[in-house]
């Protein structure tokens, strides 16, 4: 097994084999970042009756080591999405005199014990850095009222009230619960049932966290994240996410330990703030217990969309994660907006392939004609000229290309994967995904991350993001810089090759290189 199969992401996490969806239980603890995830370890399709928590660890968020699945299903049901916390003060009593440990809080789906309550919340604890887990004898710790959809607990310690807070997705709302010991939970409040335009799908995978405003540690706001599913919503007339299927929203506001209040009320669909304008970024939640002082808020998402998740044209595994990204909240003329950028740790796996500066690009010239890349970072800055559209064509061959461009008439950044490779596994896959990008001056910055089956595009330093999977032929590795209808000035362009994160012997690496025609 060398992680060289067709379409295997080379610097994005995917399980060695079988199905993966949401990231779960992300926590930093004793020098390791944990990434748990929804995993069916015996099949490349999801099994919602036998979902496990898969597990991987990393010391730097770049290189990952896959460990055996952490939480298996049983009579208590499948292990659905949830979170993990470090119980520093042993509030749970699980850790006796041994100090702190990890507690996982997750949904049991389809449990056999209370058949009339298909989704309940349970906990498990680990005294050995997440390697083995004990399910709490008093599970489940939280039962639903009347709704069937009652899941995806994300828990954090709220210093101000000395309580654990759980955000939970409950069909058309996020409910907040509080606890002093992780075992007994009290309902506090609900958010979102009246948020206009958000109910085409049910809510899933919430996350509530505080974050510095404009990097100022003395100025904080609360951000509520949620994912909106592709079906079973309460209002089928509500809009789809920008790229269709399942997608993610956020709200900025205040939280007093019980109630979240959005600063900008959601009275119309124009008030909705979408996280990503591509099709493939879902169920993202943030790492808890980040190292002190760093003030960083990091997350990653599942690079897939429930509309076609089970149909991706891979065989040994199905599903991959986005790059870990750093979240920031920045002030713009229109208000506070969430900004995402790949974590700086990726600088360690890039090497310069080419640099261009101050080149005027006219129609029908391609200064990158001699460059081939299949996993790379492109960092570009343009000065708008007379061109009506410009950008890059990547993973290109005679009959395939993925276009990443800026439409200077509509002022939109876009990814067009209509002709990106294999697209016929679902009628909605071949599409152009657009994101509005208002330029403050006449310059636009675009960073692009290309891998064997994905594209992540960050416009104006992460102000807008488009994340899309693609399935090009391995030999589609051409690159083009193009302008349409006039010229454009390329102020600077850095093209960096990205190394594979899968540690391989030099021999395997050499063979892979030869196989791929380098
Ligand atoms: C989101 C989700 C969660 C659920 C999990 C099941 O993608 O539907 O709500 O816990 O996936 O795998």
Write out pLDDT tens, residues 110-159: 988 887 888 999 999 999 999 999 999 999 999 988 888 999 999 999 99
Q: Relative to the CA of 169, which ligand 1 atom is closest? A: 9
Contact predicate 382/490, CB 8 Å? yes
Looking at residue 98, its pLDDT comes to: 63
**What is the pTM assigned to this prediction?**
0.96
Q: Is the pLDDT of residue 4 over 70?
A: yes
Find all residues with CB under 8 Å of 224, minimum gap 6, and list them. Answer: 167, 174, 191, 206, 207, 208, 250, 251, 253, 260, 262
CATH superfamily of 350-498: Exo-inulinase; domain 1 (2.60.120.560)
**More confident of the two residues 516 and 204:** 204
Q: Determine the atom of ligand 1 nearest the C-alpha atom of 82.
A: 10
Query: What gap in Å lies between CA 284 and CA 227, rounded to an integer?
Result: 8
Name the superfamily (CATH) of residues 20-342: Glycosyl hydrolase domain; family 43 (2.115.10.20)
Q: What digits encode the pLDDT tens for the residues 196-218?
A: 999 999 999 999 999 999 999 99
Q: What is the pLDDT of residues 27-84, one digit of tens each?
A: 999 999 999 999 999 999 999 999 999 999 999 999 999 999 999 999 999 999 999 9
Residue ranges per structural domain of the chain: 20-342, 350-498
**Which of 22, 23, 36, 233 gets mutated to test ligand 1 (max ligand atoms within 8 A of its CB)?**
22
Q: How far is the CA of 451 from the centre of ligand 1 (A)?
A: 25
User: What is the pLDDT at residue 100?
Assistant: 85
Supply the pLDDT for residue 406.
98
Please tell me the distance between residue 204's alpha carbon and the centre of ligand 1 in angstroms: 7
Q: Which of 371, 392, 395, 397 is nearest to 459 (CA)?
A: 392
- Kindly report the protein residue whose alpha carbon is nearest to atom 8 of ligand 1: 204
Task: Give residue-wise pLDDT tens across range 387-437.
Answer: 999 999 999 999 999 999 999 999 999 999 999 999 999 999 999 999 999
Residue-by-residue DSSP string for 363-376:
TT--TTTT-B-SSE
Which residues line the pocket of ligand 1, CB cutoff 6 A?
Answer: 21-22, 38, 51, 80-81, 107, 151-152, 204-205, 283
**Higher per-residue confidence, 86 vs 100:** 86
Which of 81, 118, 147, 247 should be mutated for ligand 1, with most atoms under 8 A from CB? 81
Classify residue 37 by its DSSP letter.
Answer: E
For the segment 341-366, the average pLDDT, to the nearest whole number, is 97
Query: Residue 512 pLDDT more than 60?
Result: no
Atom of ligand 1 nearest to the CA of 204: 9
Query: What band does 518 get if pLDDT is binned at 50, 70 and 90?
Result: very low
Q: Tell me, what's the pLDDT at 74?
A: 95
Task: Kindly give the distance from the C-alpha atom of residue 207 to the centroid of ligand 1, in angstroms, as a whole number.
Answer: 14
Burial grade of 419 (CB within 10 A; 0-12, 13-18, 19 or more): middle
Q: Is pLDDT at 97 greater than 80 in this prediction? A: no
pLDDT at 510: 60
Residue 250 forms beta bridges with which residues?
225
> pLDDT value at position 15?
98
The Å distance, Cα 242 to ligand 1 centre, comes to: 20
Catalytic residues: 22
- 379 touches 450 (CB < 8 A): no
Distance separating alpha carbons of residues 119 and 143, to the nearest angstrom: 8
Judge contact between 268 and 277, C-beta under 8 A.
no
Q: Ligand 1 center to residue 418 CA distance, Å?
A: 28
Q: What is the mean pLDDT of residues 90-119?
A: 89
Q: Please state the rounded mean pLDDT for residues 317-335.
A: 97
For residue 513, the surrounding DSSP H or E stretch is helix 506-515
Q: For the sheet with 488-498, list strands across it.
A: 350-361, 488-498, 376-383, 443-451, 454-459, 464-469
Distance between Cα 314 and ligand 1 center (Å):
21
Mutation choice for ligand 1 from 15, 20, 21, CB with most ligand atoms inside 8 A? 21
- Rounded to an integer, what distance in angstroms lies between the CA atom of residue 1 and that of residue 316? 10
């Amino acid at each position: 097994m060398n992680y060289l199969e067709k379409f295997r992401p080379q610097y994005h996490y995917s399980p060695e084999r079988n199905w993966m969806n949401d990231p779960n239980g992300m926590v930093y603890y004793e020098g390791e970042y944990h990434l748990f995830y929804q995993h069916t370890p015996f099949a490349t399709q999801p099994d919602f009756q036998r979902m496990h928590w898969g597990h991987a660890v990393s010391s730097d968020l770049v290189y990952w080591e896959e460990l055996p699945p952490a939480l298996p299903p049983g009579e208590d049901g499948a292990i659905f999405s949830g979170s993990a916390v470090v119980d520093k003060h042993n509030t749970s009593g699980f850790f006796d005199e041994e100090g702190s440990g990890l507690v996982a809080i997750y949904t049991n789906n389809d449990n056999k014990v209370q058949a009339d309550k298909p989704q309940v919340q349970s906990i498990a604890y680990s005294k050995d850095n997440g390697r083995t887990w004990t399910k709490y004898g008093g599970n489940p710790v939280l039962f639903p009222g009347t709704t069937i959809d009652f899941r995806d607990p994300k828990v954090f310690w709220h210093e101000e009230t000395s309580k654990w807070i759980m955000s939970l997705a409950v069909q058309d709302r996020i409910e907040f619960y509080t606890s002093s010991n992780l075992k007994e939970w009290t309902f506090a409040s609900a958010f979102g049932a009246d948020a206009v335009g958000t109910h085409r799908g049910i809510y899933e995978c919430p996350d509530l966290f505080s974050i510095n405003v404009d990097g100022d540690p003395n100025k904080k706001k609360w951000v509520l994240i949620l994912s909106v599913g592709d079906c079973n919503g309460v209002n089928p007339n509500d809009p789809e996410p920008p790229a269709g299927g399942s997608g993610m929203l956020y709200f900025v506001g205040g939280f007093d330990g019980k109630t979240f209040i959005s600063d900008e009320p959601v009275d119309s669909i124009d008030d909705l703030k979408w996280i990503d304008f591509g099709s493939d970024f879902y169920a993202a939640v943030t790492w808890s217990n980040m190292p002190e002082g760093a003030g960083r808020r990091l997350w990653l998402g599942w690079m897939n969309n429930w509309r076609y998740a089970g149909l991706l044209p891979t065989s040994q595994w199905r599903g991959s994660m986005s790059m870990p990204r750093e979240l920031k909240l920045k002030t713009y003329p229109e208000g506070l907006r969430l900004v995402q950028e790949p974590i700086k740790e990726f600088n360690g796996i890039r090497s310069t392939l080419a640099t261009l500066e101050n080149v005027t690009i006219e129609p029908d010239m391609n200064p990158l004609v001699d460059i081939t890349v299949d996993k790379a970072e492109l960092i570009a800055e343009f000065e708008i000229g007379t061109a009506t559209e410009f950008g890059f064509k990547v993973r290109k061959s005679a009959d395939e290309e993925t276009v990443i461009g800026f439409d200077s008439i509509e002022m939109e950044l876009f990814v067009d994967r209509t002709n990106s490779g294999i697209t016929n596994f679902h009628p909605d896959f071949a599409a152009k995904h657009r994101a509005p990008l208002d330029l403050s001056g006449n310059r636009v910055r675009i960073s692009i991350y290309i891998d064997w089956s994905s594209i992540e595009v960050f416009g104006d330093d992460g102000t807008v993001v488009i994340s899309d999977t693609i399935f090009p032929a391995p030999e589609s590795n051409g690159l083009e810089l193009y302008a349409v209808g006039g010229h454009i000035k390329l102020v600077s362009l850095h093209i960096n090759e990205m190394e594979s994160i899968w540690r391989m012997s030099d021999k395997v690496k050499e063979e892979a290189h030869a196989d791929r025609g380098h």
